[in-house]
Amino acid sequence: MGVSGNGKTTVGSWLAHDLDRVFLEGDAYHPQANIDKMSEGHALTDDDRRPWLKSLADEIRRLEDRGEESIVACSALRRQYRDWLREGHEDLFFLHLEGSYDTILERMRRREHFMPPSLLTSQFDTLEPLEDDEHGVVVSIEAPPDQVVLTALSAMNAAPDEP
């Protein structure tokens, strides 16, 4: 979880590979209207996000019903959004990839993506850190990606099973 450009896809896909889990790219579950809106430089509203997060939660459930575990790259910026994802999945674990505005802005400027760098400020403004009762950890993205993955694996293994 975290703001756009923080490495969710890179770290998430590596973790999924290392942990032998299915990787879900949250952006692939956005309706076209959301992608168009962000591409035009407009931040999403809660009403825009709700169906997107529901479709992700439904896919997590579908995989669980087949006996599969997943790693999902999803911004989940606010507590409410994480609560929506947790509906029916109370034990979801959140890995918050955290970095400085400047580091993330530079990354966003170097990539091809529908989310323009102009929306980064709104992402930081919307971001609500994990609360004490949420199951998850925070990992800095300031190191190279392979080190972030190792730190994430270590933090996930050290995290208690319950918040």
Q: Contact at 8 Å (CB) between 19 and 150?
A: no
- Predicted confidence pLDDT, tens digits, the chain (163 residues): 999 888 899 999 999 999 999 999 998 998 899 888 888 888 888 899 899 999 999 999 999 999 999 999 999 999 999 999 998 888 899 999 999 999 988 887 786 766 666 778 888 999 999 999 999 999 999 888 899 999 989 988 877 665 5
Q: What is this structure's pTM?
A: 0.85
pLDDT value at residue 95: 94
Residue ranges and CATH numbers for the domains of the chain are 8-156 (3.40.50.300)
